Structure formats: C-alpha cells, structure tokens
Homo-oligomer: A and B are copies of this chain.
C-alpha cells in the first residue's frame, strides 16, 4: 500500500464526513478519483435517494476517469437500490484500479461489489484506513451486522459525578459550547431517545436547533433537512400530550402497555412490554434498526440511562463534565446499584478534551470478562 493511497483515502473520508448529518439510513461515503497524481473527481453521498459518492466523482472526472484510480470509503454497491449499482458505473467509466477502505458490512453482500470490479479486470484493493472508515459508519455497520443501532449515551455531570441537585434543580450544568456539541450529536443521530422523567422534569423537546449547531450554512441546511426521529420511552404514558415534547413535532412513544390507545394525536405508539412494567429496551432498539436507524442518541436521566447501561446496550458514553462540585446529596450519574468492585463497568476512555469551559469524555464500555 502506497503512502499516497492513504492520503487520497484520507481525503475521501473527509468528503464522506460531510454527509454525517444527512445520509442515514445510508452510510456516509466519500470518493476521490486520481489520474497521474492529480485528483480529477470528488464526490460524497449527500442523502438517501440521491446519487452515491462514486457517481458524483465519476461525473466530475468525465473522460479522465478512464484508467484512473478510484478511492472509496466503502465497497461500491453491486445491487439495484434506489440508484443503479456503483460497481457497474465504475466499470462503465473504465477506471483502472479501485481502492476501498472497507467491505460492505452486510454479510450477505460483502465482497460482491469488489468481485464485480475484479471480474471486469479492474485492480482491486481493500483495507486502506479501514479503522477510520468503520468508525465513521459504526451505526450502519452495527445495524447490518447485528440488527441493532449504535447507542450513544450523552450525560452531563459535575466533576464529582452528579447530574442535578436532590431537588431536581439541574438546568444549565454545562455551558454553551457543550450544548452546541450536544446539538451536533442529536443532528448526526437517526433517533434521539429520552424518557418520561426528562420530558416531565426539564420540559425537554430534544429538537435540533439550527442556530445552536455551530455549523457552516451548508451543513446546517443538511442537518435541518433531515432531523432525527424523537423517541420517548414512557412505559406508563405519563407524559401529557400538552408537553412541549409533543408540541414540537411528531414522535414515537414506546410504552409498556398492550392496551394503549390507538390514536395519540399524530404520534406513533409502540407497545413493547418488558419485565416489571418497563419497556423492553432491546426490542425497541431492534425495532428501530428494522426501520433503518443507524445511530441512537440517548439523552435521559439516571434511571433510563442506567437501564440502558445495566442491559449492556450502550456502545459509547459521551460525558460532558462541568467544572464544579454539586456535592454528595446531589443526584447520581446513572441509577445503577452495584455491590462489589468486581461488578464495576470497565471503560476505555478514548478522548478527554476541553469543550468551552467544560470537558468532554468519550468512553467505551469494555466487555465484562
């Protein structure tokens, strides 16, 4: 693998990232076409139903694509979806070589796109910057491989691990930069999921607000054009339809009761009874994945976030830490009673950095041995 292969693939990943707020349920994909050391075409997938990255890049390259090398962050598709197969388009354009960062994660199609290219006499390589490519589409990959979305839990706490005073007083623990970062987490997610406690206590709406995203106009427009579905876990249907959450657009409500009303003022009701009168969270995630949901952002209080944690359903924690102590009578980060040190959830901290006056920790649960 040449160093230049990595450089062009890095550029293709940069292009792919432009779709972070808009491609789902599709993956984010970028493509760069290079001929004689010159980039002659670039493209990225913008939105489902619109052309794939390869098509944009091939259009830009035109005749210069003949004999060129195409760098794609994901194996070109070989099936007819809403658009024709990209592998066919690459063959038709006469490219000489295709470098893919990773195979299609769908086990039933993985490798077919590359095989079609190879069968047409095109030199094919894979695995260039694969880890970066996989990270960009962790949700899409998990849905394809496991039938579950990637679950990111956002938490905001004081440095002593507290989320609110015992009274419930909690608003604005963190500052504007952190709130803007949370807005971007919402915008990239297919679903923003919360619980009745949060909606009742904080009058939370869980919407994406253009002026708080802190993005350039192009990305802001893309983010706003495809807002995440808002999902409320409300086993006992405690949240009234007059709540700001319901007034802010259509939502999906997961309830634990089979005898729920059919009509819910334009909102969808989903009965997923689990143990102890709670919603079955795993079934909810499976249902969301079956609807094409790649990434779920959980923004909930200690009880619901703790329930996801206890059920082993969390892929990533993003913890915003405010530089203050709220004291020992304040509310905990997660309702998750553990008795012995051996039961502790081990984590890998992958990032810890300043976000305005606050700090952000990104931590991944480690598998329990």
Contacts and interface: CB of A to CB of B under 8 A. Distances in A.
A352 B344 contact: no
Interface stretch (A5-13, A26-34, A189-197, A318-326): A318-326
Contacts of A326: 338, 341, 344
Contacts of A348: 323
B325 A347 contact: yes
B158 A344 contact: yes
A129 interface: no
A-B interface, 9 closest residue pairs, ranked by CB to CB distance from nearest: A161-B161, A327-B338, A328-B332, A329-B337, A325-B345, A323-B347, A160-B333, A327-B336, A323-B349
Interface string A163-185: 00111011000000000000000
A83 to B, nearest CB: 43
A360 to B, nearest CB: 10
Q: How large is the interface on A (under 10, 10 to 19, 20 to 34, 35 or more residues)?
A: 35 or more
A161 B333 contact: yes
Interface string A104-139: 000000000000000000000000000000000000
A221 interface: no
A287 interface: no
A97 interface: no
A328 B302 contact: yes
A242 B160 CA distance: 34
Contacts of A330: 338
Contact of A327 (B329, B344, B361): B344
Contacts of A268: none
A352 B361 CA distance: 10
Interface in A132-170: 157-162, 165-167, 169-170
Interface of A: 157-162, 165-167, 169-170, 302, 306, 309, 319, 323-330, 332-341, 343-349, 352-354, 359, 361, 363
Given A328-B335, A338-B327, A347 B159 contact: yes
Contacts of A166: 339
Q: How many copies does the complex hold?
A: 2
A354 B319 CA distance: 16
A323 B344 CA distance: 10
A339 B349 contact: no
A159 B349 contact: yes
Given A339-B167, A352-B352, A361-B159, A325 B334 contact: yes
A336 B344 contact: no
Nearest to A155: B160
B159 A339 contact: no
A213 B36 CA distance: 56
B324 A329 contact: no
Contact of A328 (B334, B341, B344, B361): B334
Contact of A162 (B161, B335, B359): B161
A329 B323 contact: no
Contacts of A324: 344-347
Given A165-B341, A349-B354, 4 more contacts: A166-B339, A327-B344, A328-B336, A349-B359
7 contacts: A157-B161, A159-B349, A167-B340, A306-B328, A323-B363, A328-B333, A352-B353
A215 to B, nearest CB: 26
A346 B323 contact: yes
Contacts of A309: 325
B344 A325 contact: yes
A282 to B, nearest CB: 20
A168 B339 CA distance: 10
